[in-house]
């Protein structure tokens, strides 16, 4: 089952979370990444995400499968937005359920780090000054 969603419109996060409720899970960890109002000292009013959808979904699902195999987690799901977003909107969401909290935390961290590193999604920020700029969605170090 595909648990990685690339969404062009806002998604009901409660529905995603509900799908991860499992009787054997005693812990749940989620991460929400929001569009913030500044980046690098510049005022931001919004951004655009563009993705190569077939590869983004395939790679996103591979990351979730790796997390399930590599951590003692029950289930995991992730959503990344595409298209135009404004300050305050959810850009990325990850949820992980596990028998114990430590595995949920570690699995969640692994998933967001790998999404940022591997999934072909690009970000263009729109600044209040009128300038637009493509920016890295991850650390380049």
Q: Report the alpha-carbon distance of residue 22 to residue 40 in Å, rounded.
A: 41
Q: Is residue 66 part of a domain?
A: yes
For tokens 């170090």, the residue is: 141
Would you say residue 42 lies in a domain? Answer: no
pLDDT for the residue numbered 141: 38
Instruction: Output the pLDDT for position 46.
Output: 97
Distance between alpha carbon 69 and the CA centroid of its chain, in Å? 19
Tokens of 124: 């263009």
CATH number at residue 99: 3.90.1170.40
Query: What is the tens place of the pLDDT at every residue in 82-98?
Result: 999 999 999 999 999 99
Q: Which domain holds residue 16?
A: 4-34+51-120
Angle at 119 between CA 22 and CA 56, to 5 degrees: 80
Q: pLDDT means per 10 residues in the chain (141 residues)? A: 93 95 96 96 96 97 98 98 98 98 98 97 96 77 38
- What pLDDT, on a 0 to 100 scale, did the predictor assign at position 140? 46
The pair of three-digit structure tokens given for residue 23, joined into one six-digit string: 């009787």
Asked if the structure places residue 131 within a domain, the reply is no
Domains contained in the chain, number = 1
Residue 130 in any domain: the answer is no
Three-class HEC string of 17-63: HHHCCCCCCCEEEEEEEECCCEECCEEEEEEEEEECHHHHHHHHHHH
What pLDDT is stored for residue 2 in this prediction?
81
Q: Is residue 45 part of a domain?
A: no
Please name the residues in contact with 58: beta carbons below 8 A apart, sequence gap of 6 or more: none
Quick check: 37 and 43 in contact, CB under 8 A?
yes
Q: What percent of the chain shows pLDDT beyond 90?
A: 93
């Amino acid at each position: 089952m595909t648990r990685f969603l690339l969404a062009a419109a806002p998604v009901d996060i409660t529905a995603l979370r509900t799908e991860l409720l499992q009787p054997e899970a005693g812990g749940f960890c989620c991460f929400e990444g929001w569009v913030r109002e500044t980046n690098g000292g510049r005022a931001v009013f919004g951004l655009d995400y563009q993705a190569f959808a077939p590869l983004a979904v395939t790679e996103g699902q591979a990351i979730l499968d790796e997390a399930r195999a590599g951590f003692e987690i029950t289930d995991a799901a992730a959503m990344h937005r595409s298209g135009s977003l404004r300050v305050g909107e959810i850009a990325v969401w990850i949820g992980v359920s596990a028998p114990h909290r430590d595995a949920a935390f570690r699995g969640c961290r692994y998933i967001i780090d790998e999404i940022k590193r591997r999934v072909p999604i690009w970000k263009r920020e729109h600044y209040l000054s009128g300038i637009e700029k493509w920016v890295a969605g991850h650390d380049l170090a």
